[in-house]
Amino acid sequence: MPGPLEGVVVVDLSRVVAGPQATMALADLGARVIKVERPGTGDETRGWGPPFVDGVSTYYLSVNRNKESIELDLKADAGRAVLERLVRRADVLVENFRTGVMDRLGLGTARLRELNPRLVVLSITGFGHDGPEGGRPGYDAIVQAEAGIMAVTGPPGAPSKVGLSIADILAAHNGVAGVLAALYERERTGRGTVVRTSLLASVVAAHMFQGTRWTVAKDDPEPVGNDHPSLAPYGTFACADGALQIGVANQDLWRRFAPLVGLDPGDPRYATIPDRTERRAELAADIERALAAGTRAEWLARLAEAGVPAGTIRTVGEVYEWAQTRSQGLVVEVEHPDLGRVELPGPPLRFDGAPPRAHTAPPRLGEHGDAIMAWLDEPDERDGDH
């Protein structure tokens, strides 16, 4: 079954994570994504590891499924000429170069509009395209530090980064939302536009309650480990054989949870959310005294019966073996030319009535160059141009 973006052609000039994650999401939705790579080396993540399997970087595999690859030297006239041909045929172009690189390549906004007025451009940077630090380079870990993620993550006194490339991923998904909105707008206006986002913008936009703690209350958040800064009990608690994550986020849940651990819901020490948050350490000690009498499985069953949200703490490997993960289509199988049948993390969206899509493996470097060049020589069915 074709995806909802069938017929949309995306030229992907991006590398590393934010851009490739965005173009993979567009590919998952049915777009044709042509990944333009540096001759000989390609996307930097092809060399990122360990782990490598038979010389293939598992990092690269994570954000490049369902794409085609062509090698072009964009510093050479011949490479830029092919890219211009691709731009003329494309609906979307995605790049995550530093500010000014596209202009130096002779493919600034004005030139792109001249080549293809209907083109939607997604441009992702680290810290924004303008402002006092516009154009500053920024990998995910740098932006996690600069944009406040590390300030609210980890145990008290030990700011930590998230174990995923979360700034990149947020920027990618914000970029995809912008592209989809621009394609919809193009249906009315007939013209494309430039969508701009950054890792900084995407993280700050995701601050949510941590942001308003400062902007409204002038309370500068600090790390609280696995606890929640505004709720209790809400975090990690030890049982006889390990830990559980438990979330008691309202008074109704508290009234159901407290008796399970031998507490009176009306105990004045813990009667309200602010009371419990203020005494979180004392409350946690009371809860863990009760939890110590049972195993994780026993407590999960009791909590589930009472309707209290709780879960075990899984390893990444356990997540991918979990029947619920697989039931949601979150693991896909592809045929890789070097590795054979391999499993990859799958897309997060499903559409009612549509069967699961077949997926293709992340491409070898330049794997589709001849096919792409042959396609460029075919007439463009949309306007009759060659």
216 part of a folded domain: no
8 Å CB contact between 70 and 36: yes
Per the structure, the count of domains in the chain is 2
Residue with token string 């606890």: 227
- Report residue 218 CA to chain centroid gap: 30
User: With pLDDT > 70 as the criterion, what percentage of the chain qualifies?
Assistant: 99
Domain end point (choices 313, 336, 366): 313
Token pair belonging to 358 = 């077949």
Choose the final residue of a domain: 264, 281, 313: 313
Element (H, E) at 342: strand 340-345
- 85 and 24 in a common domain: yes
Residue 222 lies in a domain: no
**Per-residue pLDDT tens for 270-327?**
999 999 999 999 999 999 999 999 999 999 999 999 999 999 999 999 999 999 999 9
Q: Evaluate whether 197 touches 129 at the Cβ level (below 8 Å).
A: no
* Residue 292 located in a structural domain: yes
Type of residue found at 12: D
Tokens 């004045």 locate to 268
Q: Please give the pLDDT value at position 385.
A: 42
CA atoms within 13 A on the CB side of 299: 27
Tell whether 68 and 148 lie within a shared domain: yes
Residue 301 lies in a domain: yes
Catalytic residues: 168
Give the tens place of pLDDT for each residue, 169-187. 999 999 999 999 999 999 9
Q: Do the domain assignments include residue 382?
A: no
Residue 300 sits in the same domain as residue 331: no
Please state at what angle helix 77-89 crosses helix 369-376, rounded to 10 degrees. Answer: 60
What pLDDT score does 357 carry?
A: 86
Residue 355: predicted pLDDT: 87
User: Residue 186: what are its φ and ψ, rounded to 5°?
Assistant: -60, -30
In a domain, 296, yes or no: yes
57 beta partners: 52
Displacement of CA 321 from its chain's centroid (Å): 21
Q: Which helix (H) or strand (E) holds 209?
A: helix 209-215
pLDDT at 384: 46
Q: Are residues 201 and 98 part of one domain?
A: yes
Residue in the block written with tokens 């600090």: 222
Q: Are 147 and 157 in contact (CB under 8 A)?
A: no
DSSP 136-182: ----HHHHHHHTTTGGGSSSTT-----SS-HHHHHHHHHHHHHHHHH
Tell me the C-alpha distance between 6 and 353, whole Å. 17
Q: Does the residue 381 lie in any domain?
A: no
Closest by alpha carbon to 260, among 238, 291, 231, 281?
291
Query: Collapsing DSSP states into helix, strand and coil, what is residue 375?
Result: helix
How confident is the model over 211-227, as pLDDT tens digits?
999 999 999 999 999 99
57 with 170, same domain: the answer is yes
DSSP label at 231?
Answer: B
Greatest Cα-to-Cα distance within the chain, rounded to the nearest angstrom: 78
Residue 252 belongs to a domain with what CATH number? 3.30.1540.10
> Which domain range does residue 39 map to?
9-207+325-376
Sequence-separated (6 or more) residues with CB below 8 Å from residue 245: 226, 235, 236, 237, 310, 311, 312, 313
In the predicted model, residues of the chain with pLDDT beneath 70 are 1, 383-386
CB 24 within 8 A of CB 68: no
Final residue of a structural domain among 279, 313, 347? 313
Q: How far is residue 360's CA from residue 68's CA, in Å, rounded to a whole number?
A: 9
Q: Are residues 59 and 190 in the same domain?
A: yes
CA–CA distance, 183 with 18 (Å, rounded to integer)? 20
Residues 243, 345 within the same domain: no
Segment holding 52, helix H or strand E: strand 52-53
Task: Write b or e for each residue in 79-101: b if 16 or more Cβ atoms lie within 10 A of its Cβ, otherwise e.
Answer: bbebbbbbbebbbbbbbbbebee
d(CA 10, CA 33): 5
The CATH number of residue 104's host domain is: 3.40.50.10540
Q: How many residues does the chain have?
A: 386
pLDDT of residue 381: 76
